[in-house]
Structure 1
Amino acid sequence: MKRCGLSTRRSATALAVKAAVGGTVRCLLGVALLVASPGTVRLSARVPHVMLLVPVAAAAVALTVVVSGRLRKAAVSALADVRDVHRSRARACALWGGSVAFALLHAGVVVAVVHALGLGLSTSHVLMAYLVASGAAALLPTPGGLGSLDAALALALTASGAPGHTAVSAVLGYRLLTGWLPMLPGLLVLGLLARRSAL
């Protein structure tokens, strides 16, 4: 992005906005799934206690931003960029629509792989497993979610009732279709961009 003329601050803000919108979209899709299929998740007595961690963590982050002058300036600048994006309907639709499409397409790949392996899990359980896993993986950001998403997704599928070794096979199939196979066209595009000095 810096080679395209964006400053370091604007580039970092763009990535932060993308991550925030992606997380928001996954939360909204999870809530919509729970409303449409209430039996997807069986709430236990521990869930309310775990859910208390969300507002506590949000309050801790907000307090840190307020106390730190540098972070406060960065947050104000990021909010200005977000408002600027939403002044254009086309840009707002691209941001939110792209995030929704990304989440649904990746969830669809997980569903297809799970059904191909015959795990016997319902589509709603697999969708919720992916949404929870991708949300949890965002707390430990790694390039492309490598490692963090894989472990979280295998754990979520196992918690949904899949055998451990088959859940790992499902994660490997998901990675094959969404990460490893797209590498070939990605390398070709990377070579083309490098040749045109875009990178």
Structure 2
Amino acid sequence: MTPEQVRTAPRRRHAYWHTALTLAVLVAVACLARRHWPLLETGAVRLAAADQGWLLVAATATLATWPCSALAQQGAVLRRLPPGRLVAGQFAACAAGHVLPAGLGAGAVNLRFLIRCGIPIAGAATAVAVKGTAGAIVRGALIAVLVAACPGVPHLPRVSGGLLITVGAVATAAAAAAVALSAGPLRARCRRALAGVRAYIAAVHARPARAAALWGGSLAFVTLHCVVLIAVTRAVALPLPPARVALLHLAAGAVAALLPTPGGLGSLDAVLALALTAVGAPAAAAASAVLGYRLLTVWLPLVPGLVVLAVLVRRRAL
């Protein structure tokens, strides 16, 4: 076996296990859908008779998510990116993310786009990671705020700023200790990589416009997805407070992320429907809300997004 085959063997095994887990989740979802098909059919009929005004609000919020994603990506990059191609790239990345599991498609498209814009591969990978990390932090912060604001939801213990700083310091010290205990060449490479990442993040936040774009775009992107679901629940006459719907959406997304299906297909649908019914929503109304949300955010933009992806590849923008 050649050295190249030795290096690629673990990655192939990981890909096989990843594919097997994805297929298992999809098969389980298909079985559940077949078992509950009458309920899904009732939900689809109810969605067809939903309030068109609220559906228009949901569709408008969906359209606004891609410019917000582009704004966040621009905030994670030091140089100016072409605005039109950046928005098109985010639209294409969204479609790719619904085809490949665990966000691999979206990350690959964004990485390729930044490289085509002349950014070195290390800087492009760091920018994609910074954007993803900012989005995760925003989601966590919103969940904490909504848990504290929603009545009837168990409150999390209060965490002081000093405790957060202490936890961060301990985590940083643990990471540093792990690096220090590693081999010499590996330790040097890790230190250089960490120093480069820290310098990049500092450079981004040294520019107020870039930091505002990164965090503002990330916050707007997550908030608009919550608005889409809230508007759909109003369209199907689902009587739930908007803050609680937003909290259920964010929590369901966090849980569904543990199951690596393409675009959360099946996993997010099942978890979100279960969460809505758990707080008292009728099963048919919950099914209608989930179907409407996924129709607007996944199925309707999927084919146009793949077309845009193909056009960008053909024009060598990706």
TM-score computed with the length of structure 1 as normaliser: 0.75
Partner of 2:211: 92
Alignment of 1:1-199 (within 5 A): 1-35=114-148, 37-39=149-151, 41-43=153-155, 63=174, 66-68=177-179, 69=187, 73-139=192-258, 143-164=262-283, 166-199=285-318
Partner of 2:9: none
C-alpha change, 1:117 and 1:74, in structure 2 (3 Å) is farther
Asked whether the 8 Å contact 1:2–1:11 carries over to 2, the reply is: yes
Residue identity matched to 1:6:
I
Asked whether the 8 Å contact 2:116–2:317 carries over to 1, the reply is: yes
Deviation, 1:32, is 3.1
Deviation, 1:29, is 2.1
Using the aligned pairs only, state the percent identity: 51
C-alpha change, 1:79 and 1:144, in structure 2 (3 Å) is farther
Deviation, 1:195, is 3.1
1:131-173 superposed Cα distances (whole Å, 9 cap, x missing partner):
2222334455655444443343233323322244543432221
Distance in 2 separating the partners of 1:153 and 1:65: 39
Deviation, 1:19, is 1.8
Asked whether the 8 Å contact 1:40–1:125 carries over to 2, the reply is: no
Asked whether the 8 Å contact 1:40–1:128 carries over to 2, the reply is: no
C-alpha change, 1:67 and 1:150, in structure 2 (3 Å) is farther
Residue identity matched to 1:133:
A
Partner of 1:51: none
Asked whether the 8 Å contact 1:33–1:124 carries over to 2, the reply is: yes
SS in 2 for 1:6: coil
Residue identity matched to 1:2:
I
SS in 2 for 1:119: coil
Asked whether the 8 Å contact 1:40–1:124 carries over to 2, the reply is: no
Distance in 1 separating the partners of 2:273 and 2:281: 9
Residue identity matched to 2:178:
V
SS in 1 for 2:115: coil
Higher relative contact order (CA 8 A, sep 6+): 2
C-alpha change, 1:8 and 1:164, in structure 2 (3 Å) is farther
SS in 1 for 2:151: helix
CA RMSD after TM alignment: 3.2
Asked whether the 8 Å contact 1:23–1:135 carries over to 2, the reply is: no
Deviation, 1:128, is 0.8
TM-score computed with the length of structure 2 as normaliser: 0.50
Segments of 4+ moved more than 6 angstroms: 58-62
Distance in 2 separating the partners of 1:186 and 1:170: 23
